[in-house]
Amino acid sequence: MSDVKSPLFQGFELGAMHLPNRVVMAPLTRNRAGKGLAPTELAVEYYRQRASAGLIIAEATQIRPDGQGYLDTPGIHSEEQVEAWKAVTDAVHAAGGHIVLQLWHVGRISHVSLQPGGQAPVAPSAVRAKAQTFVAEGMVDVSEPRALESNELPQLVEDYRKAAANAVRAGFDAVEVHAANGYLLDQFLRDGANRRTDAYGGSIENRVRLLNEVMEACCEEIGPDRVGVRLSPVSPFNDLVDSDPQPLFEHVIDVLNGLSPLYIHVIEGATGGDRGVAPDFDFGALRHGFKGAYIANNGYDKAFAEAAIEAGDADLIAFGRPFVANPDLVRRYALDAPLNDLNPATLYGGGAEGYTDYPALQEG
Q: Give the shortest CB-40-to-ligand 8OZ separation in angstroms.
A: 18
Mark 137-167 as b/e (b = at least 16 C-beta within 10 Å). Answer: eeeeebbebebbeeeebeebbebbbbbbbbb
Q: Give the shortest CB-43-to-ligand 8OZ separation in angstroms.
A: 15
Which one, of 94, 104, 84, lies nearest residue 169 by Cα? Answer: 84
x-marked contacts with ligand 8OZ along 145-174 as a string, rule CB under 6 A:
------------------------------
Which one, of 192, 159, 190, lies nearest residue 177 by Cα? Answer: 159
Q: Which is nearer to ligand 8OZ, 9 or 47 (CB)?
A: 47
Q: Give the shortest CB-112-to-ligand 8OZ separation in angstroms.
A: 18
Q: Is 355 in the site for ligand 8OZ (CB under 6 A)?
A: no
Q: Give the shortest CB-238-to-ligand 8OZ separation in angstroms.
A: 7
Residues annotated catalytic, as ranges = 183
Burial (CB count within 10 angstroms: exposed 0-12, middle 13-18, buried 19+), residue 63: buried
x-marked contacts with ligand 8OZ along 181-210 as a string, rule CB under 6 A:
x-----------------------------
Q: Which is nearer to ligand 8OZ, 178 or 207 (CB)?
A: 178
Q: Is 60 in the site for ligand 8OZ (CB under 6 A)?
A: yes
Query: For residues 14 and 23, is the Cβ–Cβ distance under 8 A?
Result: no
Site for ligand 8OZ in 280-299 (CB under 6 A): none
Length of the chain measured in residues: 364
- Please identify which residue in 21, 29, 166, 346 interacts with ligand 8OZ, judged by CB under 6 A: 29
Q: Which is nearer to ligand 8OZ, 1 or 131 (CB)?
A: 131
Q: Which residues contact 285 (CB under 8 A, 6 or more apart)?
A: 246, 250, 253
- Please identify which residue in 9, 46, 47, 70 interacts with ligand 8OZ, judged by CB under 6 A: 70
How would you classify residue 31: left for phi > 0, otherwise alpha for psi between -120 and 50, otherwise beta?
left
Q: Give the shortest CB-308-to-ligand 8OZ separation in angstroms.
A: 21
| Cβ count within 10 A of residue 332 | 18
Which one, of 7, 9, 20, lies nearest residue 51 by Cα? Answer: 20
Q: Which residues bind ligand 8OZ (CB under 6 A)?
A: 29, 60, 70, 181, 271
